[in-house]
C-alpha cells in the first residue's frame, strides 16, 4: 500500500489517499465512500458488494486459493455494481509488464549510462 499511496500523492495528482488495513476502525464506511479501492488484504472475498458504492473502481491485488481455484480479495459479485479487475489475469499482467520495462531500462542505463536514457 505504501508505494502506491506515495505514487498517488505526487504533485499534480490531486488524490486524497487513505491507507487502511484489515483492522481499521469503520473500514467498510471508508470503502463505501471511496471512488477507487486498491485491495490487498490476503483474505479471499474480504470485500463484498455492500462494502462498495456503485461505479467504484476496484483493483483486486489479492491472490488466494479457495476450492482449488485462484481468487482475489474481492467477491466477484462486486462486479455487478462496480468496475473490478479480474483475478487471475488483472494486476499480475501489469506487474509483469512493468518488471520487464524496468529490466530493459536498467540494462540500457548500464550499457549507455544513466544520463543517456530518457524516461
Domain with residue 59: its CATH number is 3.40.50.720
Both 60 and 19 in one domain: the answer is yes
Number of domains in the chain: 2
Convert the pLDDT of each residue in 45-96 to its tens digit. Answer: 999 999 999 999 999 998 999 999 999 999 999 999 988 988 887 877 788 8
| Residue-level pLDDT at 91 | 79
Counting beta carbons within 10 angstroms of the beta carbon of residue 112, is it exposed (0 to 12), middle (13 to 18) or buried (19 or more)?
exposed
Both 66 and 50 in one domain: the answer is yes
Cα–Cα dist 96/101, whole Å: 9
Both 31 and 51 in one domain: the answer is yes
Both 7 and 57 in one domain: the answer is yes
Both 14 and 48 in one domain: the answer is yes
Cα–Cα dist 60/87, whole Å: 7
| Residue-level pLDDT at 114 | 67
Cα–Cα dist 33/113, whole Å: 47
Q: 50 by DSSP, 3-state: which?
A: helix
Both 27 and 78 in one domain: the answer is yes
Both 80 and 96 in one domain: the answer is no
What phi and psi, each to the nearest 5 degrees, are found at residue 27?
-55, -45
| Residue-level pLDDT at 4 | 81
Range of the domain at 9: 2-86
| pTM summary value | 0.76
Amino acid at each position: 500500500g505504501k508505494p502506491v499511496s506515495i505514487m498517488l500523492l505526487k504533485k499534480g495528482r490531486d488524490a486524497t489517499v487513505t491507507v487502511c488495513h484489515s483492522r481499521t476502525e469503520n473500514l467498510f464506511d471508508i470503502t463505501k465512500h471511496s471512488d477507487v479501492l486498491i485491495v490487498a488484504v490476503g483474505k479471499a472475498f474480504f470485500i463484498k458488494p455492500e462494502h462498495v458504492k456503485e461505479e467504484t473502481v476496484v483493483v483486486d491485488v489479492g491472490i488466494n486459493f479457495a476450492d482449488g481455484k485462484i481468487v482475489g480479495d474481492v467477491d466477484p459479485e462486486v462486479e455487478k455494481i462496480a468496475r473490478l479487475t479480474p483475478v487471475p489475469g488483472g494486476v499480475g499482467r501489469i506487474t509483469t509488464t512493468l518488471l520487464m520495462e524496468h529490466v530493459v531500462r536498467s540494462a540500457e542505463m548500464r550499457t549507455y549510462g544513466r544520463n543517456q536514457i530518457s524516461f
